[in-house]
Chain A
Amino acid sequence: MNQEEKENQALQAELEYRLQPIELNPQILQNVFKKTGAKPDKYVDFVNFLKKLSLPVQQFSSFLWERRRIGVSFATSVLVIFVFIKLLIPPEPEPRERSFPSAAQKLVVPNPQVTAQTLKTDLEKFGIVATVKKSDEDWIVEVINLSADNLKYLPDLLKKYKLKLPPPGENGLKVRIVAKGN
């Protein structure tokens, strides 16, 4: 059969087919969809529409996620640098806390200057350094730092002068000695 005869045959077959088309089994198409996973157009369009809607949310989440990673890296770097610096540089000696008694205790005596000097001397016997200074007519005896060792002996000494121990949390002592009759 030559080319022209084959072409005529194809044309004849098509013309006959148009007169009497073959009824197709729709199950074939369903099997094709089942096998290939194709979904109805409306379903695919709806899914794509939902994807489009969720796109800004996804982008924002992704944006946050990216920043979060940068933030974590930055915080880790800072922490590592801080630890290195701490290890390399020896710590500075902590300044000794100066703590002053919130309020001076009052001691009324006939001769404040003498009592002030006596108190200072008594304190020094226990190794407690005290300063004495005059303030107007009064004399002030002040101890800036009371160590735990000092506190052992202090109650008896203060009792002698009818003075109280400094309140908890204070490590200083201040006594204002006032002349009797002022």
Chain B
Amino acid sequence: MKKQWDDQAILDNIRAGKQAGATYVFYQYGGRLLQFFKWKFKLSHEDAEEALQETLIRFVQSVCHDKFHGDASIYTYLSKIGVNECLRILQKNIAYTDILIDGMAIEELIDHSKDLEKELHYRLCVAKALDEFEKAEQNANERLTALTLQYKGGSIKEIAEEIGRNEGATKTFLSECKKKLRVYLLKCRDECN
């Protein structure tokens, strides 16, 4: 039977000196972190991988040394460590100094690290919220496919063809999907605020 991981189970496993909890964190959040590091900090793939590795190391060490008490979610902590690691790599690497990130020089980014943490936190929280949505809602896959097509710029006609509904029904369906999903995403907004 596949183990159901929650934050407490992950922390207990890591504190016991085991690997499974950290492995779950790596596969659950690693890809999203890597994507965010590359996209937001314009890191090369190698640097993004280094940032990910150091983020996980610091996370596991913090849990083992009881620095992380579980009073916030795991992804809150991962966001904080992750952003710091990316800034460290940016500062270390002279080649990045000319790059502007969201119109900001790297030196300015440090002052906005809290915003970046918040953004990453929301990103990781959305991943978890969509997992919960998939588990709890009927036709979750169909709903998420429809939304994905819409976000990718697909027309109602194209989406309707993809999900096998007429255009009117597809409009209603999309509106219903967003409404249902909003309930799950509200939690993330509350957490971030």
Interface centre among A18, A32, A33, A37 (most CB of B within 10 A): A32
Known interface pairs A7-B185, A38-B22, A38-B60; A19-B148 also in contact (CB < 8 Å):
yes
Q: Per-residue 0/1 for A55-95: is the Cβ within 8 Å of any B Cβ (1 yes, 0 no)?
A: 00000000000000000000000000000000000000000
A33 touches B22 (CB 8 A): yes
Known interface pairs A36-B64, A40-B18; A14-B32 also in contact (CB < 8 Å):
yes
B17 touches A22 (CB 8 A): no
A39 touches B19 (CB 8 A): yes
B26 touches A15 (CB 8 A): no
Q: Per-residue 0/1 for A29-48: is the Cβ within 8 Å of any B Cβ (1 yes, 0 no)?
A: 10111011111110010000
Do most interface residues of chain B lie in helix, strand or loop, or is the interface mixed? Answer: helix
Known interface pairs A22-B34, A24-B30, A44-B16; A29-B22 also in contact (CB < 8 Å):
yes
Residue A13 is within 8 A (CB to CB) of chain B in the complex: yes
A33 touches B19 (CB 8 A): yes
Name the interface size band of chain B.
35 or more
Q: Per-residue 0/1 for B137-168: is the Cβ within 8 Å of any A Cβ (1 yes, 0 no)?
A: 00000001001100110000000000000000
C-alpha gap A10/B191 in the complex (Å)? 15
In the complex, the chain B residue whose C-beta lies closest to that of A35 is B57
A16 touches B126 (CB 8 A): no
Residue B35 is within 8 A (CB to CB) of chain A in the complex: yes
Name the interface size band of chain A.
20 to 34
- Partner of B49 from the list A11, A18, A25, A41 (CB cut-off 8 Å) is A25
Point out the residues of chain B lying under 8 angstroms from A169, CB to CB: none
A18 touches B53 (CB 8 A): no
A16 touches B148 (CB 8 A): yes
Write the nearest CB–CB distance from A45 to chain B, whole angstroms: 8
- Partner of B56 from the list A15, A32, A40 (CB cut-off 8 Å) is A32
Known interface pairs A13-B123, A32-B60; A24-B17 also in contact (CB < 8 Å):
no
B61 touches A14 (CB 8 A): no
Residue B180 is within 8 A (CB to CB) of chain A in the complex: no
Binding site for B on A (CB under 8 A): 3, 6-8, 10-19, 21-22, 24-25, 28-29, 31-33, 35-41, 44
19 cross-chain CB contacts under 8 A: A7-B126, A13-B39, A14-B32, A15-B148, A18-B130, A22-B34, A24-B27, A24-B31, A25-B49, A28-B30, A32-B53, A36-B22, A36-B57, A36-B60, A37-B17, A38-B14, A39-B18, A39-B19, A40-B18
